[in-house]
Amino acid sequence: MLCPEVWRFRAPSHEIVQKTGIIDWKHQKKDPIRRGIRSHPFNQMVTVVLPDVKSIPVELETALADSDHYLLRNISLQAFVARSFIEAFVKRGTFCAVSFRTKLDTDDCVAITPGGILVLHLNKETYQTLGLEGRVSEFGRKRNSKYVISIDLKTLQPETRQYARVRECLIRETLGRFDLAITWTPPSANDGTSKICPSSVAKYFADLKLGEQNSPLVELVPTKVKTHTEYSLKVPTFSLDEQSDTEYCTGSELVEYMGMLALSCDTEGEEYLNSYDFSGSRVEIGNAKVMHWKGFFTAGQVEAIYTSVLNALKTEPHVPWIGMYVHGFPNCPISFGMRENYFHTDGDNSCTIIVNPKGEYLWYQLMGNNKIPK
């Protein structure tokens, strides 16, 4: 069999949303970047690039100091419709969950949103034997191969027919059991007045008994943190000033450069077969600090990092810009704005935020589109 000419294959198409503007420092609650961050609750990696700084600000280093999450193994979904769980964790604080190591295109996947919506992304066989009403997946319309069921946990009332029906269906053998990554933020945790520990959710499931052989296992998953420094750089400048005679690189070029910097790629190489260049002006700096977090982060935790980035810009007004990259779970059923995640090629759902000391920002959002590859 002859090898196909892979260089002729077209790259997977994506939906790119690029926005620019100026931050109103006096009314940061109306910041459009914050609205974009809040629309993406399932995040597994955050990277911050700080060019031309002596050290990483303490506020940024401690922004995710208490961000460890938990892994529930062999859990039945009936546990999430229990009244005690809904009252203690869904209606109080922010609870998020996503199925662990499942493939969105071939496996049954689960997610629980911060708003208390239980989302089931099921194969056709599972859906037809489950008995709950749903809809055909947006990306499986031609073959009706995947179905989506949404259950509002906050509106479930005990001792009703609907509650009994949901609970009966969720314990069926056809649905099986799941491994879920979970995280819970107690109420009022953001202002420091909460007296409830986030580990309370782990204790709840550890004490949960669903039968002798059906008790879930709870594992602590610490957040992984990595930092490194890149030296002797010429970084592109970023500005929205259209009246200036200076030529600036495009938004995609700036995002690409920041990604190469975060991955420690050689951006100054002069090799003929493997070189990189970008248009526009550049400024020579001594070093760039890069910080990575990997785990399970809610929108509130990502917003806390963004707030630390803005504060760093105020204390480091000489820096050309500060960049922030947020990557979501590729196999999570939910993407930006509760939109169904794309699964035919890569499941990309990520965003890049770049801000300079003037408050000028670039929002670069990347998602898979709804076109089925031929």
Span 72-91, pLDDT tens digits: 999 999 999 999 999 999 99
What percentage of the chain carries pLDDT values higher than 70? 88
Instruction: Quote the CA–CA distance of 98 and 291 in Å, as a whole number.
Output: 25
- On the question of pLDDT at 359 being above 80, the answer is yes
- On the question of pLDDT at 120 being above 90, the answer is yes
- On the question of pLDDT at 180 being above 90, the answer is yes
In this prediction the pTM is 0.90
Instruction: Quote the CA–CA distance of 91 and 22 in Å, as a whole number.
Output: 36
- On the question of pLDDT at 6 being above 80, the answer is no
What percentage of the chain carries pLDDT values higher than 90? 61
Span 307-353, pLDDT tens digits: 999 999 999 999 999 999 999 999 999 999 998 888 766 778 999 99
Name the pLDDT band for 246 (thresholds 50, 70, 90).
confident
Span 274-288, pLDDT tens digits: 566 677 788 999 899
**Domain boundaries, given as residue ranges, for the chain:** 13-66+224-368, 69-221
Buried b (16+ CB within 10 A) or exposed e, 177-213: bbbbbbbbbbeebeeeeeebebbebbebbeebebeee
Query: Which amino acid type is present at position 235?
Result: V
- Greatest mean pLDDT among 148-162, 232-246, 359-373 lies in 148-162
Span 45-60, pLDDT tens digits: 999 999 999 999 999 9
Average pLDDT over residues 277-302: 91
Name the pLDDT band for 3 (thresholds 50, 70, 90).
low
Query: Exposure of 352 by Cβ count < 10 A (0-12 exposed, 13-18 middle, 19+ buried)?
Result: buried
Span 205-224, pLDDT tens digits: 988 876 555 678 999 999 99
